[in-house]
Amino acid sequence: MKLEVTMDNFRDAMKEVEPSAIREVFVEIPDVKWSDVGGLEYIKKTLIETVEWPLKYSDLFKKANTKPPKGILFYGSSGTGKTLIAKAVANESGVNFISIKGPALISKFVGESERGIREIFRKAKQASPCVLFFDELDAIVPIRSGQDTSHVTERVISQFLTELDGIEELKGVLVLGATNRLDIIDPAVLRPGRFDSLLELPIPGQNSRLEIFKIHTKGKPLDKDIDFKELVDETDKLTGADIESIVRSASMLAIREVVDEEKGKVTKEKLKTFTIKKKHFCEAVKLVKK
């Protein structure tokens, strides 16, 4: 029997290649500051004490014979700022940052997911001092339920715990995790000495929403008719990501209006008087709430 490799075979194979952390781990230095994070004052304070202080006051921690936590887990609804605050803590602490999407680590090839986890922790050690951030952690370490748990899941969780337990050797590495579903994280991951600190990122309250609006509208040509208090009242139960989307949508609505009015030719005079108006924000709120 003669076997032939066709172009279709190559295309199918390319679909199986993981273009993610399994093959390459990228180290970055984020440009997010604490001032870019609206609200979450308690979370910021906790992170400053647990991440910045051990680096800044290392002699004091040695004298107190106290070690910072190995891992911190953020949980809360999607869009509440988990990734943003992870980047901020890395930047403000002056350390490297490695970000991994949990689902990207899961491969159907035997041993590939475990190898990916080993490689990520190895890279974090090389890049120390470093914040290693696992987004959607529940995809890597879901709760095990006896016979229903696959062998792949068992092996991946075991490998992750092995690396986490050995993190004492990875000096200068802090592991951060984020999940929308704390209830489906395997309890073994949450034991003391692993993820020692669980921090809930809540839906922003009134003051936090006002702060978030001001962060995202900074430097924009806003019309005098815009009432932030009104916008805050209209965005109850919305997340920081929702508010960012509202500001972006309002900006685009204002741009579209001018382009349509000027029939594609925006004059310098029109540019000088261009503003984002209350009506654009009202329309943007409706769009995001749909």
**Pick from 145-154, 181-190, 222-231: least confident:** 145-154
- Is the CATH number 2.40.70.10 carried by domain 206-289? no
* CA 238/CA 287 separation, integer angstroms: 13
* CA 239/CA 203 separation, integer angstroms: 6
Confidence band for 1, pLDDT divided at 50, 70 and 90? low
**pLDDT, tens digit, for every residue of 24-72?**
567 888 899 999 999 999 999 999 998 889 888 989 999 999 888 889 9
Domain with CATH 3.40.50.300 in the chain: 16-200
**pLDDT, tens digit, for every residue of 126-156?**
888 889 999 999 999 998 876 555 777 888 8
* CA 143/CA 141 separation, integer angstroms: 7
Residue 52: DSSP 8-state: I
| pTM: predicted TM-score of the whole model, two decimal places | 0.82
pLDDT at 267: 83
Chain mean pLDDT for the chain: 87
Question: What is the mean pLDDT of the segment spanning 178-194?
Answer: 91
Residue 226 has pLDDT above 70, yes or no: yes
pLDDT at 14: 42
pLDDT at 18: 42
Domain with CATH 1.10.8.60 in the chain: 206-289
Q: Which CATH number fits domain 16-200: 1.10.600.10, 3.60.21.10, 3.40.50.300, 3.40.50.1980?
A: 3.40.50.300
**pLDDT, tens digit, for every residue of 245-290?**
999 999 999 999 999 988 878 888 888 999 999 999 999 999 999 8
Confidence band for 19, pLDDT divided at 50, 70 and 90? very low
Angle of CA points 120, 126, 127, to nearest 5°:
85
* CA 261/CA 266 separation, integer angstroms: 9
